[in-house]
Structure 1
């Protein structure tokens, strides 16, 4: 954990203490409380005992070797009753008001068992409706797992941020390195037409020039008259190989001028990655000096390999109207080979672990709760969620480790 994370976690703890902590599900008079001081009584099958008027229902979640489902046993004055002596129905209200009803039916082993599955997390308000030997019975209690409450101001001050789970795109991307170079055909090497001494220089390296502009004056050795050396293109002076009083040799380059309004980005691709990259795919180029990015499209994959690195070179053109992209500079780039739509995505940063699950945290009001998720494809930023969330769920996308720490501190656990 980084120092910044440690400071954030400490700040959240101090804020919770300063505000008196969260309501840790204090006893409200209902049957048993998952986090109250008094643990609920347990029966011989490990289930919660619900007693009223001499009748007891032992209720548990059976999940040994099977998907989790509600199971119950009936007793009168502590003695077992046959499963056919009554009926049991379990009604659940999950965070966000989602309701479920599970009806238990008699089994040959003497228990009552529901056919419906109790999905994770096992975190809900429970209402048990039973009819045993003609008596109507009812119990309510809460059973929270992976849940905590954090006041809105505390969460905001701690940097906890949420965003809705929603449809998105998963990209097959390749991270590569590259080099900026002038576009071929947009560089002019300007020489003197006739040899002779240089009488005047009009520009310096870095100056912007326009086509036809005078760069120098040279006195011809043949005619002893002066003539003007001009640039055939507009651009920037990259090099000046001349001094006043020096001699301009025949054919010797005096100036190098380049049109840098656009540059080539030569990207180096290694190994099998080269087989997946074709012209026409999007490229995001990042300037290493300040992290600025630009979007372009891959134009071609060169047929040969770079001699020194034995890499395949893929080339794109980058607009450079402001001149801040400089030839010779190294850049990094992300080539998007393919984009696949996904029904539901969340940022990779939203993922955490809880017990042996991969989870995200969902916020409803000021309450946060785990959601075990089944995941699909991912890219550098997003991951596909196959199950465990629905569109619109408010998922913690920043500082999720703080929510995890607070849930673990609360000790919320299964009530099986």
Structure 2
């Protein structure tokens, strides 16, 4: 059992200060990643960007003039018409103007960022669960504005007893029902199993449940059923044969003199074996020792 939670949540805060002059989202609205939710008055930021652009132009003109002057001073110095001190002064002036240009360019980039941040956008797709400002309000950097939650999949964390935890593994299916949704059954998948007990002496297990119709709301009480010990006909492999990579399960089998990686779908398990639903055929020789560092296609020798 457990309560449904969001699979992803984003707290959106103002990155710059100013007055909110446009709001484009209400609680419960569906939003896309990158969608504009609000706009902050950009008048002063537009002016700051224009000023920064003029600063870059001015610094570029100054640098071109300094470059011309430096070439002239260098020619005079090589002709011994001026002292080394005068030439070094011209060189230092050129270098200082280069620094001024880089500083002006940095100011322009900063102004561009500030102007861009007048548009408040959602970093994820989901639903607006909270709106914390109104149009016309003044905000500062860090002021909370919106909370966005992704409920296209819901997360359920439950506790599994010590006697049962080793019979579970990521990727196993869970039949989930919700008290408020009657007898409707949702398909869940175990994604994480904690190796450490919580205060209740249970091992936290995270289950993700698809919620395409949005029927499951955050906080709903869930009941999950995981079959651990019923007899199942079909293929089975030792638990140690199954490896995991980027959310997928796989084993190595021997084909000729080579190790071949085979992705599998596992089902029920006990303390020794996992049911294999797909990916293997009866009679496949599964490698169970020394396979952790094997690569697909590696030559192997079967010990007899």
**TM band (smaller chain):** 0.3 to 0.5
Q: Larger % of helix: which? A: 2
Q: Which of the two has higher C-alpha Rg?
A: 1
TM-score (normalizing by structure 2): 0.48
